[in-house]
């Protein structure tokens, strides 16, 4: 196998073929898709333009090679592109910050269906452990009369979330706060709390895909059984108003135990929502009555 691709004579097709071979561990279809995404980002062209006869500036070709080699070392694609798609927008992401997943869109979709608010209703929400700000930013954009706070323990994550909020045009309605858990909010009272918390059992960390282990461990691991966050947070809901709702992402197989914690906390109704793979992914605790 060639160690570097030859300079293309017609479009970028030879480069895509080379990159596809280097990323064969992904499977042919996914390898080609990632090569195309890298080139789209690198050259600022559409997918159809990648195959035109006149290639873009060849000075950028070494960067393509460097990114393919980094991806071969299992660096997440989102870290190379410094962006990731979520809902209907692109969010900036950088190394050391948790990468949003498509599965988390289930949380937004569930709230839209069962949250009890119309697009024009005002409400006050918290996005706990915001990461890139993908949940809080999306909710603020979808509900233009809402106000919210987004918190994270990581200053790096908050800096990224702040830039994303500005890009989405919601920074005037989404306050970014560095904190660890709900007690930091004191007398604040929220109508809704959202969170995509850590929920991986500690012994499972080393078994995860190599790409995942480039991300911050604390964003994934939550004790021996992956339930530490839920135990802690369901005992700290004093800042959620009576009648309020709590929406969290869960790991596969956690629905019964997390649901029991929600029930103990005093929610009127508890609903479980499946993601596109038919896996129980989100729990909504609705109508807190203490």
The catalytic site residues sit at: 98, 196-197
The first and second tokens of residue 152, run together, are: 């994270």
- Residue 207: count other Cβ atoms within 10 Å of its Cβ: 10
The first and second tokens of residue 57, run together, are: 């500036």
> Which residues in 179-203 are b (16+ Cβ under 10 Å) and which e?
beebeebeeeebbbbbbbbbbbbee
**Helical H runs in 169-233?**
228-233
Distance set, CA 21 to CA 34, 66, 68, 100, 134 (Å):
12, 15, 10, 27, 33
- Residue 234: count other Cβ atoms within 10 Å of its Cβ: 20
Distance set, CA 139 to CA 51, 64, 133, 284 (Å):
37, 35, 10, 15
| % helix, strand, coil for the chain, step of 5 | 45, 20, 35
CA distance 208 to 186: 36
Indicate the DSSP class of residue 8. P
């Amino acid at each position: 196998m060639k160690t570097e691709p030859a300079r293309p004579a017609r479009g970028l097709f030879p480069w895509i073929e080379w990159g596809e071979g280097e990323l064969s561990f992904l499977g042919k279809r996914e390898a080609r898709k990632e090569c195309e995404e890298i080139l789209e980002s690198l050259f600022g062209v559409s997918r159809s333009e990648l195959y035109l006869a006149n290639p873009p500036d060849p000075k950028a070709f070494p960067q393509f090679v460097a990114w393919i080699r980094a991806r071969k070392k299992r660096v997440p694609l989102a870290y190379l592109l410094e962006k990731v798609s979520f809902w209907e927008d692109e969010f900036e992401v950088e190394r050391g910050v948790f990468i949003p997943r498509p599965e988390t869109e289930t949380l937004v979709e569930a709230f839209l269906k069962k949250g009890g608010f119309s697009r024009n209703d005002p409400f006050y929400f918290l996005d706990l452990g915001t990461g890139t700000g993908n949940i809080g930013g999306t909710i603020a954009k979808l509900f233009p009369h809402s106000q919210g706070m987004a918190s994270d323990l990581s200053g790096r994550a908050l800096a990224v979330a702040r830039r994303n909020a500005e890009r989405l045009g919601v920074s005037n309605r989404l306050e970014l706060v560095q904190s660890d858990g709900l007690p930091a909010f004191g007398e604040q009272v929220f109508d809704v709390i959202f969170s995509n918390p850590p929920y991986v059992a500690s012994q499972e960390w080393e078994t995860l895909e190599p790409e995942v282990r480039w991300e911050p461990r604390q964003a994934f691991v939550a004790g021996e059984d992956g339930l530490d966050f839920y135990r802690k947070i369901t005992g700290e809901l004093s800042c959620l108003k009576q009648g309020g709702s709590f929406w969290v992402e869960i790991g596969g197989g956690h629905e019964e135990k997390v649901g029991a914690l929600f029930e103990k906390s005093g929610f009127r109704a508890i609903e479980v929502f499946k993601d596109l793979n038919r896996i129980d992914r989100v729990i909504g605790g609705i109508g807190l009555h203490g």
